[in-house]
Structure 1
Amino acid sequence: MYKLSYYVPEVAKEKTKSALFAAGAGMFENYENCSFETLGQGQFKPIGNANPYIGKKGVIEYVAEYKVEMICRDELIKKAVEVLKEAHPYEEVAYEVIKLEDF
């Protein structure tokens, strides 16, 4: 089992979650569409050949973003990351994948 976490602006939160749920993420035993989200503030400065969804090149941008977390079965994690990247509006998606152990 893995935990997939990513940062997303509110306008794309439900779209990304729905795509991941459709791919099988967020499921545990008799429960589906499971996730946890926290509102926070992200920052970034587009440089070089960036084509930002939000903000302008060379300017630090501050954005209200959600951190969304959900579990994902081993055999689905690679597909889930692909789906996240397709559904997410940012050209560079900030995400992390953590392997979970069962004790």
Structure 2
Amino acid sequence: MYKLCFYVPESHLESVKTAVFAAGGGRIGNYDSCCWQVLGQGQYQPLSGSQPFIGTQGQVHRLAEWKVEMVVGDELIHESVKALKRAHPYETPAFEVWRLSDLQF
């Protein structure tokens, strides 16, 4: 199993989550559409050649973004990341994929 984390502006929060859920992300046991999210502040500076969704080349831009975390099964991680990239408004969305250990007690 993996943990997928991504950052997204509020304007696209629900549509990106919906796309990742449809690809199989966020399933835990007999539940689906599971995630954790928190509002924070993102920062970036678009460089020459970029096509920013929000902001201007050469200027640091700050905006409210949601950090969303969810688990994704091994067989669904590639499709979940593809869905994230297709649905996300940024030309280069920030995301993390972490491999999780299965601890038996």
Q: Which amino acid aligns with 1:38?
A: V
Q: Which residue of 1 aligns with 2:27?
A: 27
Q: Which residue of 1 aligns with 2:84?
A: 84
Superposed CA offset, 1:39-94 (max 9, x none):
00000000021000000000000010000000000011011111100000000010
Aligned residues: CA RMSD: 0.5
TM-score of the superposition, structure 2-length normalised? 0.97
Q: What pairs up with 1:1-103 in 2 under 5 angstroms?
A: 1-103=1-103
Q: Structure 2, unaligned stretches of length 5 or more?
A: none
TM-score of the superposition, structure 1-length normalised? 0.99
Measured in 1, the distance between the counterparts of 2:90 and 2:56 equals 13
- State the Cα distance separating 1:13 from its structure 2 match: 0.3
Q: Which amino acid aligns with 2:67?
A: K
Measured in 2, the distance between the counterparts of 1:86 and 1:48 equals 23
